A and B are shown apart, each in its own frame.
Chain A
Amino acid sequence: MSQVRARQITVLLVLVTLHFVLRPFLGDVRFAPDLLLLALLVFAIQARPGEGAIAGFVVGILADSLTPVAFGAGALAHSCVGYLAAWGKAVFFAESLLVSGGFFLAGTWLRDALVLVAGRHMTDSALAWQLLWWSPLKALTTAAVGVTILIVFRRWLDVRVRG
């Protein structure tokens, strides 16, 4: 395993661990950044679409086990987001921080939307508030943390970021 790969894995493991360590301190769970999803997105934008989908499936099953409201919905949503993030990164050559932030933002919102649609446990006003208020807020906080991670760990992650 190359040194770069080992560093990338270290950053991802740190993100996954921080997801659990920091959760009680991140405030309201409805808009707190999702570091598990962020780890997936950071991985996916450097991987092939197939790898992104597989990583998404694994993260999704883990998330489903922790919130078994609609088991499988998380796996479905994360697989799609992992695949699309890897594919989108390749297609658009997203090297600017703004585009990467956009990926994190769109990925988080899309994940939430797919989980809710596949789960079908929220309807009407609750669904609308979730998708139009809480999910965009969570997407914003996740994107902000994601951009910070890219800046801080750009050498470890071997990403080229432009302003």
Chain B
Amino acid sequence: MIFAPESYSSRRDTLAFVVCLVLAVAARMSPPVIQDAVAAGITRTVLAPFLFVQRQAEVVRASRGRYVQQAAARDSTLLLALQTSGLKQENEELRRILGLSSRLRSRHVSAEVLHQALPTSGLMVVLSAGRDDGVRAAAPVVAPGGLVGVVQRASAHHSVALLWTHPDFRVSGMALNGSVFGIVAPRGSEGPGTPMLELRGVPYQQDVPPGTVIYTSGQGGGQGVYPRGIPIGTIVAVGEEEVGWSRTYVVRPAVHPASISHVVVLVGPAVDLREAFSDTVIGS
């Protein structure tokens, strides 16, 4: 490496740089409505072919995964058919393979998650389903493990989902039997791959033991955003407490956004979904 004595950057270069910075700051400071409109416009036009290609690549990858899964299921079916005593187990296995969507009573749309490279992509993602598929803003987004986030805006073919890791994310949570209620919000990170949630505002006298699974409470009824019964996570410890007033519990999330490639967007009326997630192993 040799140090060049003369300056390389001309006044024109500096001017171009400054203009770019000013435009970037203007974009950052502009109202969310304008930001959304510009982002949606670019996604709909310039990026549309690239997103189409990414979606097809995602489908190819998923198809390969499903093929392996089905081949394994076929093999296990053969083995189990030879052992009639294992038929019940086989039945359960096949039902699990059929996926979450067959268990959901609510109207829903399947979508691929089109992950991107910015470090903030763990907070918000583009989904491959949009208005034409029935997706609307404020529709809950779930994976077989539990709650993933909520649709923030939808264009014709794509939608943008705000994930539970986003600092603005909030959802009303409860224990399965409805004994404990609180607000669930993101809570920093306990390690490189372990973003956590917290259950806030639990009355001080209500003790929630570790291992308690927290579900969406469905507060708001048919007009609410989240239906009742979607797993959010599992209580792992007490976080903070205001003595005599309330406690905050640390919750291990049911789904890690970085690990999902497919989601289900709930587009129908809010119904109780506890049954649909009854065989879900939380935190796995």
Residues in chain A within 8 A of chain B (CB atoms): 16-17, 19-25, 28-30, 32, 34-37, 48-51, 53-54, 56-57, 60-76, 79-80, 83, 86-87, 90-94, 96, 99, 112, 115-116, 118-119, 121-126, 129-130, 133-135, 138
Residues from chain A with a CB closer than 8 A to the CB of B280 are none
> How far does the alpha carbon of A99 sit from the alpha carbon of B191 in the complex, in Å?
32
Q: Is the CB of B36 within 8 A of A68?
A: yes
Q: How far is the CB of B176 from chain A (nearest CB, A)?
A: 29
B98 at the interface (CB under 8 A from A): no
> How far does the alpha carbon of A60 sit from the alpha carbon of B58 in the complex, in Å?
23
Smallest Cβ-Cβ distance to B167: which chain A residue: A121
Residues from chain B with a CB closer than 8 A to the CB of A129 are 189, 191-192
Q: Is the CB of A49 within 8 A of B118?
A: no
> How far does the alpha carbon of A60 sit from the alpha carbon of B42 in the complex, in Å?
12
Q: Is the CB of B188 within 8 A of A54?
A: no
- Categorize the interface residue count of chain B: 35 or more
* Contact A93/B1 with A50-B12, A67-B118 known, Cβ cut-off 8 Å: yes
Q: Is the CB of A65 within 8 A of B43?
A: yes
Q: Is the CB of A96 within 8 A of B1?
A: yes
Q: Is the CB of A87 within 8 A of B9?
A: yes
Interface centre among A70, A80, A124 (most CB of B within 10 A): A70
* Contact A50/B13 with A68-B36, A68-B39, A93-B2 known, Cβ cut-off 8 Å: yes
B72 at the interface (CB under 8 A from A): no
Smallest Cβ-Cβ distance to A126: which chain B residue: B189
Residues from chain A with a CB closer than 8 A to the CB of B88 are none
Q: How far is the CB of B279 from chain A (nearest CB, A)?
A: 27
Q: Is the CB of A65 within 8 A of B4?
A: no
Q: Is the CB of B120 within 8 A of A115?
A: yes
> How far does the alpha carbon of A61 sit from the alpha carbon of B163 in the complex, in Å?
21
> How far does the alpha carbon of A76 sit from the alpha carbon of B30 in the complex, in Å?
14
Given A20-B54, A63-B117, 9 additional A-B pairs, CB 8 A: A23-B57, A30-B119, A50-B12, A56-B20, A69-B166, A75-B23, A99-B1, A119-B120, A124-B188
Q: Is the CB of A72 within 8 A of B35?
A: yes
> How far does the alpha carbon of A16 sit from the alpha carbon of B15 in the complex, in Å?
27
Stretch from B44-52, B217-225, B230-238 contacting the other chain:
B44-52
Interface centre among A53, A93, A99 (most CB of B within 10 A): A53
Contact of A51 among B16, B30, B39, B191 (CB under 8 A): B16
> How far does the alpha carbon of A126 sit from the alpha carbon of B164 in the complex, in Å?
14
Q: Is the CB of A63 within 8 A of B27?
A: no
> How far does the alpha carbon of A96 sit from the alpha carbon of B2 in the complex, in Å?
11
Contact of B188 among A28, A116, A126 (CB under 8 A): A126
The total of Cβ contacts below 8 Å across the A-B interface reads 215
Q: Is the CB of B121 within 8 A of A76?
A: no
Q: Is the CB of A22 within 8 A of B119?
A: no
> How far does the alpha carbon of A119 sit from the alpha carbon of B3 in the complex, in Å?
34
Smallest Cβ-Cβ distance to B2: which chain A residue: A93
Q: Is the CB of B50 within 8 A of A29?
A: no
Q: Is the CB of B50 within 8 A of A17?
A: yes
Q: How far is the CB of A5 from chain B (nearest CB, A)?
A: 19
Interface centre among A34, A64, A90 (most CB of B within 10 A): A64
Residues in chain B within 8 A of chain A (CB atoms): 1-4, 8-10, 12-17, 20-21, 23-30, 35-36, 38-40, 42-43, 46-47, 50-51, 53-54, 57-58, 60-61, 114-126, 160, 165-167, 188-192, 195, 258-259, 261
Smallest Cβ-Cβ distance to B122: which chain A residue: A30
Q: Is the CB of A24 within 8 A of B54?
A: yes
> How far does the alpha carbon of A124 sit from the alpha carbon of B192 in the complex, in Å?
13
Would you list 20 pairs from A and B whose C-beta atoms are within 8 A, ordered by A residue?
A19-B117, A20-B51, A20-B53, A23-B116, A29-B258, A35-B117, A50-B9, A51-B16, A53-B16, A53-B20, A63-B117, A66-B114, A67-B116, A73-B28, A76-B28, A87-B8, A90-B9, A92-B3, A92-B4, A122-B123
Q: Is the CB of A67 within 8 A of B29?
A: no
Q: How far is the CB of A10 from chain B (nearest CB, A)?
A: 16
* Contact A61/B42 with A71-B28, A119-B120, A124-B188 known, Cβ cut-off 8 Å: yes
Residues from chain A with a CB closer than 8 A to the CB of B191 are 129
